[in-house]
Amino acid sequence: MHPNAMTKLLNLMVIALLITVAASDTPATAYTNHTVGGDAGWLFDAKTNKSTTNYTSWAANQTFNLGDYLIFNTNTNQSVIQTYNETTFRSCSIDDASDNDTSHFNGGETEFGKSLTIAVPLTITGPNYFFSDADDGVQCQTGMAFEISVNRGLGLPPSLNHPPPPPYIEQPGPDNAQPPPVTIAGGSPALENGALRSSANVRFLLPLLLCGFASFLA
């Protein structure tokens, strides 16, 4: 083969290789859904007067990032309160809470003992506090409470970038049946993440590709 043709062929192969590498790259990190308490779920045991697991220990073993979700597998005998206000957290009550820093997720159920899965997105970095205010704070005082620290990670995915103001509603109970204000935006963070990473790779590879192409033309 003519040496010039050989060089061109080599350049072509390099370009093909670069394109393959860019396409097959998998994301290094992704958004995570954390199942609160693992298999134990988010449950209070009324017989022992204790939480079914130690949520502080559970949380200590996880890394939390923006765009992750906490998945509470629970029932309506517990509540899910998220707050950024440590005073509210320590008080085990939302009676004095302000609706700009505290949200109550109840999935819209108003009957006791109904099983429920609640997904809470993590949208603010730093301390996030969670507790159940059911049984007049007894659940919270006996272990239905934990604190996490949320890191930036990949940042918020577009689906969570403009969260609605946090909803603030009463406990489920016989006299205050209300429709659920909580809607969790869908979307596919993992895919968006892949797309982001790919475009970053193309940006990085573009000069290389151009170099290869230029020497191909030479």
Interface positions with ligand NAG (CB under 6 A): 33, 49, 54, 56-58, 60-61, 69, 75, 77, 84-85, 87-88, 91, 96-98, 100-101, 112-113, 119, 138, 141-143, 184, 186, 190
SS3 per residue for 124-157: CCEEEEEECCCHHHHHHHCCCEEEEEEECCCCCC
Confirm if 128 and 122 have CB atoms less than 8 A apart. Answer: yes
Q: Which one, 11 or 77, has the nearer CB to ligand NAG?
A: 77
Q: Considering the complex, what minimum distance in angstroms separates the CB of residue 199 from ligand NAG?
A: 21
Query: Smallest gap, in angstroms, from Cβ of residue 195 to ligand NAG?
Result: 15
Least distance to ligand NAG, CB of residue 94, Å: 8
Nearer to ligand NAG, 7 or 93 (CB): 93
CB-wise, 4 or 39, nearer to ligand NAG? 39
Q: End-to-end CA distance of the chain, in Å?
A: 18
Cα–Cα distance for residue pair 93/85, rounded to 1 Å? 11
Residue number of the CB atom closest to ligand NAG: 113
The residue (of 11 and 139) whose beta carbon lies closer to ligand NAG is 139
Helix-helix angle 189-217:3-24, to 10 degrees: 170
Find the DSSP H helices in 68-127: 86-91
